Structure 1
Amino acid sequence: MGQSFNLQGVLQSFRVLASPRLMIPNLVVRDVRDINFEQLHKAGITAIAFDKDNCLTRPYGLEIYPPFKDAWRRCRETYKDRVVIVSNSAGTPDDRDDHQAKAIESSLQVHVLRHQEKKPSGGEELLKHFNGVDPTEIAFVGDRALTDVVFGNNEGMLTILTRDVVTEEGDNPMAIRIRRMEHRVLALLDRLNIKRPPHPIPIDLHAVVLQAPAAVTSEIKEEAKEGSA
């Protein structure tokens, strides 16, 4: 199942033009294997939400990407019923009878949020699901700056960008182009020294990353150079 036109995403893009910090994540990792979920929880992040496609699974896939199985197990063991998937396809009005959402829940063993508005809008629907959890205690993890990161930043969550996608094979061609553009923009913002304000919860970001984030940041910059060549 693909995704229909995301009007809210287009409208939110104009907000990002006025405030580019909205698309800057608190943390960049290669992929979910780099997240130390136990340390993240100890630091005060009590709930966590994920994008699905190219963050946990292949584009439009149902199964966890095999190399991520151990990380996904650690995440579910740490967060238990406070882990949820927020997709722009499954669980939306595009998903007739919640067919896709139910299939993902069966496969990944976590709840898929049912929501009317697509990311980067609709953050209040996730907050309602977590029922009283302070937004600053929620982490949002995804591979897209203009949807996943903006979605989390709009609500004051801790935002984590996964830089390396599972695969571009089978992905939406427009999503591929926009993602590459996002990485170039993030590298530009970094060169301009435009930073994300510190998260309200004092978190030692080095402690919650299993690989050095500096190496990941340099890879984003290198990718941006290649894209502009």
Structure 2
Amino acid sequence: MVQNFNFSGILNAFRLIASPSLAMPHIIVNDIREIPMESLKKHGIKAMAYDKDNCLTAPYVSTIHPPFKESWDRCKEAFGQDKVVIVSNSAGTLDDKDGKEAQALEQSLGVHVLRHTQKKPSGGDALTKHLQIPHGQIAFVGDRVLTDVMYGNLNGNLTIWTKQVITEKGDNKPAILIRRMEHQLIKMLHHLDIKPSPHPFYTNKSKD
């Protein structure tokens, strides 16, 4: 299912002018296999939320990217299936007629797909309400800066950016172009020494 145009993403991008830290992830990994699950749990993270395309699966594919299966299963075991959620800008949104794609994903990936009306980076309250966990105890994982990272930062989550794209094959052209721009944005923010938004994870970790 191809996503409709994301006006929220465009409008929220302008917020970076005033608050560039909204685009900076707290943790950068190549892919989900490098996420330090035990460290996250040790320092107070109680739930994990993920984008889908090019984070867990190839674009518009409903099955986990095969090399990620072991890590995905480990995440569900570590946090519990009810505390692992997928937040997509296609499945579970108003674009997903009758929620059919969300249901297919739930059967395939074994976790809940959030139903939400506002596309990322807006609408973070829906995730917090679903999990019934304080926003600071939720980690959000995604491959997109202007949607996933901003969504998590606006919602007060710990943000994890997966910088390695699974594949551009089958992805829509605007997403490919914007993602490449986002990679350049992260490089620029690093050069300017922009730090991510404060999060208790770092305070707790520094006490070890």
- The residue aligned with 2:199 is 199
Does structure 1 retain, via aligned residues, the 8 Å contact 2:153–2:197?
no
- The residue aligned with 2:118 is 117
Give the drift of 1:9: 1.1
- The residue aligned with 1:220 is none
Aligned structure 1 segments of 4 or more residues deviating by more than 6 angstroms: none
Give the drift of 1:204: 3.8
How is 1:43-192 mapped onto 2 (pairs within 5 angstroms)? 43-80=43-80, 81-131=82-132, 133-192=133-192
Give the drift of 1:106: 0.2
Distance 2:177 2:68 in 1: 25
Distance 1:24 1:184 in 2: 12
Distance 1:36 1:188 in 2: 26
Distance 1:76 1:12 in 2: 31
- The residue aligned with 2:31 is 31
Distance 1:199 1:91 in 2: 28
With structure 1 as the length reference, what TM-score do the two structures score? 0.87
CA RMSD of aligned residues (A): 1.3
Give the drift of 1:194: 1.3
Identity level (%): 56
Q: Which AA in structure 1 matches 2:21?
A: R
Does structure 1 retain, via aligned residues, the 8 Å contact 2:106–2:113?
yes
Give the drift of 1:19: 1.2
Give the drift of 1:203: 4.8
Distance 2:49 2:40 in 1: 13
Once the two structures are superposed, residues 15-63 of structure 1 have per-residue CA deviations (whole angstroms, 9 ceiling, x without a partner) of 1222111010001000000012122112110011000000000001000
Distance 2:92 2:197 in 1: 31
Aligned pair in 2 of structure 1 residues 197, 123: CA closer, same or farther (>3 Å)? closer
Distance 2:181 2:85 in 1: 27
With structure 2 as the length reference, what TM-score do the two structures score? 0.95
Q: Which AA in structure 2 matches 1:44?
A: G
Distance 1:75 1:203 in 2: 21
Distance 1:41 1:169 in 2: 34
Which 10-residue stretch deviates more, 32-41 or 100-109?
32-41
Aligned pair in 2 of structure 1 residues 91, 197: CA closer, same or farther (>3 Å)? closer
Once the two structures are superposed, residues 59-86 of structure 1 have per-residue CA deviations (whole angstroms, 9 ceiling, x without a partner) of 0100000000000010000111100000
Once the two structures are superposed, residues 133-177 of structure 1 have per-residue CA deviations (whole angstroms, 9 ceiling, x without a partner) of 111110000000000000000011100000001100001111111
Structure 1 residue runs of 5 or longer lacking an equivalent are: 208-229
Q: Which AA in structure 2 matches 1:123?
A: G
Give the total of aligned pairs.
205
Structure 2 residue runs of 5 or longer lacking an equivalent are: none
Does structure 1 retain, via aligned residues, the 8 Å contact 2:49–2:138?
yes
